[in-house]
Amino acid sequence: MAHHEPGHSDCLLEVRGLTKVFGELRANDHIDLEIKSSEIHALLGENGAGKSTLVKMLFGSLEPTSGQIFWKGNPVTIGSPGQARGFGIGMVFQHFSLFEALTVAENIALSMDDDVSIENISEQAAVLSREYGLPLDPNAHVADLSVGERQRIEIVRTLLQNPELIILDEPTSVLTPQEADRLFETLEKIRSEGRSVLYISHRLEEVQRICDRATVLRHGKLTGDCDPRAETPASLARMMVGSEVKSVSNTGGKVTDEVLIEARGLSAPARTPFAVALKDIDLTVRGGEIIGIAGVAGNGQSELFDVLSGEELVDNPGDINICGKDAGRLGISARRLLGAGFVPEERHGHAAVSSMTLSENMVLARHRSDAAEFLTGGPLKVIRHDVVRQASERIIKEMDVRMSGEDPDASSLSGGNLQKFIVGRELDRKPSVIVVNQPTWGVDAGAASRIRQALIDLANAGSAVVVISQDLDEIFEVATSIAVINEGRLSAAEPAENMTLERIGLLMGGIHGEDTPVEETRMEAAHAH
């Protein structure tokens, strides 16, 4: 990459040879990067490529092992986030740090270095939110806000610090398509004012749409620097993963008449003050069908998974039916015995115990459903380790799980490899029904395509598949029908080929009637206000 000489006015931030080592791991290995004034610069790479490590060093949360950061041509040391803000660097994190019980203005006040009155902050936030098309009520409590509105708080409080460089980490992963469009307008306004944006994303289409340049990381090293508009999503993906990503084949199997999982008028109260109540959910999935359930995070996805899996029981047994049996009062193991499989969202601690080996995790999950195969003996059962290990090896081979050692602890696997094992563990039983929550959250493109293909293959063999996912690309790739969950209500499933991004976006925003004008959505109303 060509270097600007220090002092060159066009270059806002430059890093040379930036390296971060954790023990044996070189998380960043001699990274060179330039961000010019008035540009939206994409930082691309798979999970684990080193993107977060790099931006934490730029924001003063991590100290580099070696290398140099230049700000406006001068070498600088960024020792803390406060110092980064002092230079003019602001950051909007992927995981928001907001207090739900406080108002928007109170949350913003907590991040301000100066002692400013709440009234003054409310006024400034209101002005900024109008100027940048980020509708916000400073007096609203965060607990009452959608995820998209929460993100606006983070952006407005960053803008209040008047930064020259704003770092955004996966900003659209929690937004409806319409909210994402509004964010892109905001970013273009920020660029037009002479500020710069470092934009971390794995969504290649949006990078091509809004970014002027892209820097690609792979395994902690720089693999390329390009104009994303001159590339294709396939060529960008190749730079990210180092090889062609196998595309998923979904020719669609035959859907049978047999209903394998059904929810009828399913309601469940919110279990905590910040949980979502489920309201009158109807869901019917037949053999050969993959129902994709889309929605912005926090609209009842985990609550729906918990009641479908039996982690939470409902009052009426008939509210949930699995393979012809009323299952509302049956726990997870009993539902597995009916022929169901379940993959929760959280890998560590929920789907697997990190400190246990893969084969031990296999026994934990399947000791009831596969008791005849895995256990032997009388009342005091003994684990048949050879059979368990064979099953583990079968799954590892089938799902191409990469690992160190023969039967390692779950914690030693990367997120993608552990996810492949967990999905494979359920699929290995050839379940008649499988419910999966966020199947490829935080996994690389290769692992994601293998997991999606495995779910499609299961449906093609006659099983019913429910995929709950925030990734709309994933939903369109695998689903035969699509429904949307919004504030605990589920829209009627519609054939995937009839669904558009706009239609899904309206359903995500709570508009369920075809005849309701778009401008009456809360989002549009807030914008007009």
344 domain-assigned: no
| 433-437 and 340-343 strand pairing | parallel
pLDDT value of position 113: 67
**Rounded to whole angstroms, how far apart are CA atoms 264 and 10?**
61
Alpha helices in 69-196 (DSSP H): 81-87, 104-111, 118-131, 147-159, 177-192
347 domain-assigned: no
Q: How is residue 246 annotated by DSSP?
A: P
Residue of 343, 365, 342 whose CA lies nearest to 353: 365
Residues 281 and 398 placed together within one structural domain of the fold:
no
98 domain-assigned: yes
Residues 200 and 72 placed together within one structural domain of the fold:
yes
Residues 333 and 255 placed together within one structural domain of the fold:
yes
3 domain-assigned: no
Domain-terminating residue out of 426, 453, 481 = 426
CB 55 within 8 A of CB 43: yes
Residues 444 and 489 placed together within one structural domain of the fold:
yes
Q: Which two tokens stand for residue 399?
A: 């799902």
**Rounded to whole angstroms, how far apart are CA atoms 129 and 460?**
48
Residues 415 and 435 placed together within one structural domain of the fold:
no
Q: 304 by DSSP, 3-state: which?
A: helix
**Rounded to whole angstroms, how far apart are CA atoms 85 and 90?**
6
Whole-model pTM: value is: 0.75
pLDDT value of position 279: 97
Residues 254 and 333 placed together within one structural domain of the fold:
yes
Residues 175 and 204 placed together within one structural domain of the fold:
yes
Residues 378 and 419 placed together within one structural domain of the fold:
yes
CB 124 within 8 A of CB 187: no
Domain-terminating residue out of 202, 222, 241 = 241
**Rounded to whole angstroms, how far apart are CA atoms 510 and 108?**
28
**Rounded to whole angstroms, how far apart are CA atoms 189 and 130?**
12
CB 439 within 8 A of CB 423: yes
Amino acid at 153: I
**Rounded to whole angstroms, how far apart are CA atoms 299 and 146?**
9
Helix H, strand E, coil C: the string for 22-77 is ECCEEEEEEEEEEEECCCEEEEECCCCCCHHHHHHHHCCCCCCCEEEEEECCEEEC
Domain-terminating residue out of 426, 461, 482 = 426
Residues 222 and 109 placed together within one structural domain of the fold:
yes
**Rounded to whole angstroms, how far apart are CA atoms 461 and 216?**
39
346 domain-assigned: no
Q: How far is CA 416 from the centre of its chain?
A: 13
Length of the chain: 529
**CA torsion 298→299→303→305, rounded to 10°?**
-100
Residue of 46, 246, 84 whose CA lies nearest to 161: 84
345 domain-assigned: no
- Give me the number of domains the chain comprises: 3
6 domain-assigned: no
Longest dimension (CA), the chain: 79
CB 340 within 8 A of CB 436: no
**Rounded to whole angstroms, how far apart are CA atoms 93 and 98?**
11
Residue of 306, 402, 313 whose CA lies nearest to 358: 402
Q: How is residue 250 annotated by DSSP?
A: -
Q: Which two tokens stand for residue 35?
A: 């961000």
Q: How many degrees, rounded to 5, is the angle at CA 341 between CA 444 and CA 356?
A: 65
Structural domain that includes position 407: 353-426
Instruction: Count other C-beta atoms under 10 Å from residue 1's C-beta.
Output: 11
**Rounded to whole angstroms, how far apart are CA atoms 92 and 158?**
7
Q: What is the CATH number of the domain that holds 177?
A: 3.40.50.300
CB 499 within 8 A of CB 478: no
| Model pLDDT for residues 239-278, shown as the tens digit of each residue | 887 777 777 888 767 899 999 999 999 999 998 877 899 9
Q: 187 by DSSP, 3-state: which?
A: helix
| Model pLDDT for residues 358-389, shown as the tens digit of each residue | 999 999 998 888 888 898 887 888 999 999 99
Residues 461 and 419 placed together within one structural domain of the fold:
no
Residues 35 and 135 placed together within one structural domain of the fold:
yes
212 domain-assigned: yes
CB 245 within 8 A of CB 232: no
* Termini Cα distance of the chain: 46
Per-position pLDDT tens, the chain of length 529 = 444 444 445 899 999 999 999 888 889 999 999 999 999 999 998 777 889 899 999 999 999 999 999 999 999 999 999 999 999 999 987 767 889 899 999 999 887 767 778 889 899 999 998 888 888 899 999 988 877 788 889 999 899 989 999 999 888 877 788 888 989 999 999 999 999 999 998 778 889 999 999 999 988 999 989 999 999 888 888 888 777 777 788 876 789 999 999 999 999 999 887 789 999 999 999 999 999 999 887 889 999 999 999 999 999 999 999 999 999 999 999 999 999 999 998 888 889 999 999 999 999 998 888 888 898 887 888 999 999 999 999 999 999 898 878 889 998 887 888 999 999 999 999 999 999 999 988 777 788 889 999 999 999 999 999 999 988 889 999 999 999 999 999 999 999 999 988 889 889 877 654 433 333 333 433 343 3
Residues 194 and 253 placed together within one structural domain of the fold:
no
Q: How far is CA 380 from the centre of its chain?
A: 43
Instruction: Count other C-beta atoms under 10 Å from residue 253's C-beta.
Output: 19
